[in-house]
């Protein structure tokens, strides 16, 4: 009897130690999905019910990714143009937002230039994720309405290695407040900065390059068809809800197992489940 009791409590303690890693603080709301581009079929088809299919420019190659396929961008003229969407840029104001992507950059210091993973908006309002000089940056700004001049937290990254990067606007309003803009890397929140809600921003949306205008940490980013990414991008998601630790833990789960090699079937299962939602 005593042995059974000890065994029972051992299982309870084990589960309590493991389960919160996956389930704690989850805020992902599937009703707010704006787009999910897995690239599993080698195209820029949106696997969510929004049907926000991208238009490929250049000739990105379908290659083996973390699970299924990723797209390989050449850093010269390969990218994806995403149509305007009320869920992303043409409506608003947007008080909560998550953008997340898996990426593997060929050379994180190439020519000391920016390599854009995702961007939406323009010089007045927008969001951007890019690699530059050995770091990955996430940026957000809204320079009209209430004058959020922008924040661009960053983290060191290495060439030819998979990372999961996330950008979050959380419960923001029409004024600049602390801890409203976040950067996540490999399932961990690494920065909380000042921020606010994002109003409608009409400039075009791009994956793998700046389609039409952005703002970088050094005030660069003006132009169209610039700052092409060289490397692999696998599964880009945009939501109108603010992901939290549990959500990012699921998205980045495979990275903690084999960060430089093939990933486990656990990741493949998770990715398949997200594709089906």
Query: 231 or 3: which carries more pLDDT confidence?
Result: 231
- Predicted local distance difference test score (pLDDT) of residue 274: 45
Residue range 245-255: average pLDDT? 84
Please give the biggest Cα pair distance in the chain. Answer: 73
Report the alpha-carbon distance of residue 63 to residue 60 in Å, rounded.
9
The answer, yes or no, to whether residue 36 has pLDDT greater than 60, is: yes
Report the alpha-carbon distance of residue 139 to residue 63 in Å, rounded.
28
- Predicted local distance difference test score (pLDDT) of residue 6: 43
Report the alpha-carbon distance of residue 121 to residue 189 in Å, rounded.
24
- Predicted local distance difference test score (pLDDT) of residue 267: 42
Q: Where are the alpha helices (DSSP H) in the chain?
A: 2-23, 245-251, 265-276
Instruction: Give, in order, the Cα–Cα distances in Å from 178 to each of 47, 51, 181, 194.
Output: 34, 35, 8, 4
Cis omega (within 30 of 0) for bond into 54: no
Per the rule left: phi > 0, alpha: psi between -120 and 50, beta: everything else, 258 is beta
The answer, yes or no, to whether residue 12 has pLDDT greater than 60, is: no
DSSP string spanning 223-257?
Answer: SEEES--EEEEEEEEEESS---HHHHHHHTGGGGT
| pLDDT one-digit tens code per residue, 190-225 | 999 999 999 999 899 999 999 999 999 999 999 999
| pLDDT one-digit tens code per residue, 82-104 | 999 999 999 999 999 999 999 99
Report the alpha-carbon distance of residue 135 to residue 219 in Å, rounded.
17
Of 204, 210, 208, 233, nearest to 39 (Cα)?
233
Domain 26-276: top CATH class: mainly beta
- Predicted local distance difference test score (pLDDT) of residue 68: 85
- Predicted local distance difference test score (pLDDT) of residue 26: 59
CA atoms within 13 A on the CB side of 194: 12
- Predicted local distance difference test score (pLDDT) of residue 256: 54
Binned at pLDDT 50, 70 and 90, residue 254 comes out as low
- Residues with Cβ within 8 Å of residue 219, at least 6 apart in sequence: none
| pLDDT one-digit tens code per residue, 123-156 | 999 999 999 999 999 999 999 999 999 999 999 9
The answer, yes or no, to whether residue 15 has pLDDT greater than 80, is: no
User: What is the number of other CB atoms lying within 10 angstroms of the CB of residue 193?
Assistant: 17
Binned at pLDDT 50, 70 and 90, residue 62 comes out as very high
With the CA atoms of 134, 109, 40 and 68 taken in that order, what torsion angle do they form, in degrees rounded to the nearest 10? -70
């Amino acid at each position: 009897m005593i042995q059974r009791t000890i065994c029972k409590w051992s299982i309870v303690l084990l589960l309590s130690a493991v389960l919160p890693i996956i389930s704690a603080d989850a805020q992902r709301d599937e009703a707010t999905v704006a787009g999910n581009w897995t690239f599993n079929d080698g195209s820029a088809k949106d696997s969510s019910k929004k049907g926000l299919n991208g238009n490929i420019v250049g000739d990105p190659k379908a290659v083996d990714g973390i699970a299924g396929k990723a797209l390989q961008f050449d850093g010269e003229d390969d990218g994806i143009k995403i149509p305007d969407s009320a869920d992303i840029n043409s409506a608003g104001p947007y008080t909560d937002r998550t953008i997340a992507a898996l990426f593997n950059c060929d050379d994180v210091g190439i020519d000391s230039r920016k390599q854009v993973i995702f961007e939406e908006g323009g010089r007045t309002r927008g969001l951007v994720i890019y690699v530059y000089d050995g770091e990955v940056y996430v940026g957000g700004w809204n320079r009209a309405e209430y004058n959020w001049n922008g924040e661009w937290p960053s983290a060191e990254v290495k060439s030819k290695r998979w990372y999961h990067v996330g950008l979050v606007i959380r419960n923001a309003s029409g004024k600049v407040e602390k801890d409203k803009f976040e950067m996540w890397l490999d399932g961990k929140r690494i920065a909380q900065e000042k921020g606010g809600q994002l109003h409608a921003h009409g400039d075009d949306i791009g994956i793998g390059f700046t389609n039409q205008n952005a703002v970088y940490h050094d005030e660069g980013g003006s132009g169209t068809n610039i700052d092409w990414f060289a490397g692999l991008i696998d599964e880009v998601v945009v939501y109108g809800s603010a992901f939290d630790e549990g959500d990012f833990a699921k998205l980045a789960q495979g990275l903690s197992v084999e960060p430089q090699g093939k990933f486990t079937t656990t990741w493949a299962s998770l990715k398949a489940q997200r594709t089906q939602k």
